[in-house]
Amino acid sequence: MKTGIVLQSITWILTATLSQIALATQRLPEAPEDSDYYFNGSQAPAKVKLGQLLFFDKILSGNENISCATCHHSLTGTGDGLSLPSGEGALGLGVTRDTGSGADTIHERVPRNAPPVFNLGAKEFVAMFHDGRVAVDAEQPSGFASPAGANLPMNLDNVLAAQAMFPVTSATEMAGQLAENPQADLAAAGNLPGVWALLAAKLQAIPEYVDLFKAAFSDVTSASDITYVHAANAISAFEAVAWRFDNSPFDEYLRGANGSDSPLAPRARKGAMLFYGKAECSTCHMGKFQTDHQFHAIAMPQVGPGKGDGDAGNEDFGRERVTGLAEDRYRFRTPTLRNVALTPPYGHDGAFNTLRGMVEHHLNTLNSLFSYDVEQIVVPSSPTLDAIDRSAMANQAIVSNIATANELAPIELNEQEIQQILAFLYALSDPSALDLRNAVPQRVPSGLAIFD
């Protein structure tokens, strides 16, 4: 018996060592470092604090019933745990959120999954949203391409700040519906500068916020100096600092902790070999944050209301909506895989509820598409909305078009290899991201409830 145990131990050590040698020969990325980010936590603490309060304050919504944090909460992995968000008008947090009631019943689900915000303060993230519609563009006066065009203001700190300008202008996300409030009316009319001016006026009227803006920005000396650009810059600073997580077991391995006590367990090391080798995951999920920042069509099932595309208006053409190019139809941005195990559901519309389901889809996209069970989406049920959720996948022509656009060839992995890939993906989670309670403020200057 003792001899058997010794032999087993020797075999395990040899296998682990060989996998380390094999992994060392792979073309692995470098671990992130401070210079990869706009700024670190020791910089601009007043701006970060202001951004935290704004992020959790419902004052930025038209009906003052939803905040940025509602769909990007620290208690739900900086997402909301749902396939598609229940936006303005609903109640609850995460998977407990409903679809509203009475006059506040939501008109439709937000068409795309609420993406996690981890590490978006890194400089290499130059495009935001699933379709990249807000992106760094030196040819634009503001420095950014966006749906606002020339109306996007100057002096935004980075693309993450530019992104923060838009949820407040969306009827389903934060503005509300036409005739419900002035913010909603301005948004419905396409008057985005009007929305931003209205929000600035709201903040100017709250003395505590005025003091916080003065402390955070040298060009704010009185209430009238506050603009929504200041607010967006503060929100981006908070997100960049609070949601930076790059001390995963894989990071430790990349930084040299690859001896016999390596934080990357044997199964995860084998998964990394597959990820950067046979499974071809790194073809798209490359670099320090496991993304090429490009847009790909991978036969993702279409669930939810879509973005108004197609004959019935229930499709989402993805990147084509930005470029106008037919070849970009159904292409969506490659997501970062940092903390990926903490951020279900997966896909631009949250079509897959489990990480394994998402991995298996990548291995045989067409089989997964044609056998997809729409019942797996995680959304609060509503008879009207449920029927809309299923409409695209019930249309054989739409499913066929999604399949035709697919870019991924099948990859054959056995069960053991799938488990190894999953182990590696779990090793991309920073342990400190498991407890994000300290990112939640006790109160906000507007006096509005953080939770209700």
For residue 43, the Cα-to-chain-centroid distance in whole angstroms is 24
Which residues, in sequence order, are CB contacts of 304 under 8 Å at separation 6+? 83, 84, 109, 111, 112, 316, 349, 377, 388, 389
Q: Average pLDDT in the 138-165 region?
A: 98
What per-residue confidence (pLDDT) applies to 39?
Answer: 80
Q: Average pLDDT in the 292-321 region?
A: 98
Q: Residue 217 pLDDT > 90, yes or no?
A: yes
Contact assessment for residue 357 and residue 344, using Cβ atoms and an 8 Å cutoff: no
What 3-state DSSP class applies to 309? strand
Q: Average pLDDT in the 411-426 region?
A: 98
Distance CA 443, CA 452 (A): 13
What per-residue confidence (pLDDT) applies to 259?
Answer: 57
**pLDDT class of 18 with cuts at 50, 70, 90:** very low
Q: Around 217, how many Cα atoms within 13 Å sit in the side-chain half-sphere?
A: 26
**pLDDT class of 452 with cuts at 50, 70, 90:** confident
Residue 20 carries which side chain, given as an amino acid letter? Q
Contact assessment for residue 249 and residue 263, using Cβ atoms and an 8 Å cutoff: yes
Three state DSSP letters for 252-282: HHHCCCCCCCCCCCHHHHHHHHHHCCCCCHH
Distance CA 271, CA 71 (A): 32
Q: What is the pTM of this model?
A: 0.93
Local structure of residue 286 (DSSP, 8 states):
-
What per-residue confidence (pLDDT) applies to 1?
Answer: 44
- Segment 76-129, tens digit of pLDDT: 999 999 999 999 999 999 999 999 999 899 999 999 999 999 999 999 999 999
Name the nearest CA neighbour of 99 among 388, 358, 433. 388
- Segment 390-410, tens digit of pLDDT: 999 999 999 999 999 999 999
What per-residue confidence (pLDDT) applies to 27?
Answer: 82
The rounded mean pLDDT for the chain is 94
What per-residue confidence (pLDDT) applies to 16?
Answer: 47
340: left (phi over 0), alpha (psi -120 to 50) or beta: alpha
What per-residue confidence (pLDDT) applies to 451?
Answer: 80
Cα separations (Å) of 243 from 19, 68, 77, 286, 444? 32, 14, 10, 20, 20
List the single range of 247-251, 258-262, 288-292 with lowest mean pLDDT.
258-262
Q: Residue 10 pLDDT > 50, yes or no?
A: no
Residue 279 carries which side chain, given as an amino acid letter? A
List the single range of 36-45, 155-164, 254-263 with lowest mean pLDDT.
254-263
Contact assessment for residue 297 and residue 330, using Cβ atoms and an 8 Å cutoff: yes
- Segment 167-201, tens digit of pLDDT: 999 999 999 999 999 999 999 999 999 999 999 99
List the beta bridge partners of residue 128. 134
What are phi and psi for residue 219, nearest 5 degrees? Answer: -95, 10
Contact assessment for residue 293 and residue 127, using Cβ atoms and an 8 Å cutoff: yes
Q: Is 369 exposed, middle or buried (0-12, 13-18, 19+ CB in 10 A)?
A: buried
List the single range of 242-251, 253-262, 341-350, 423-432 with lowest mean pLDDT.
253-262
What 3-state DSSP class applies to 327? helix
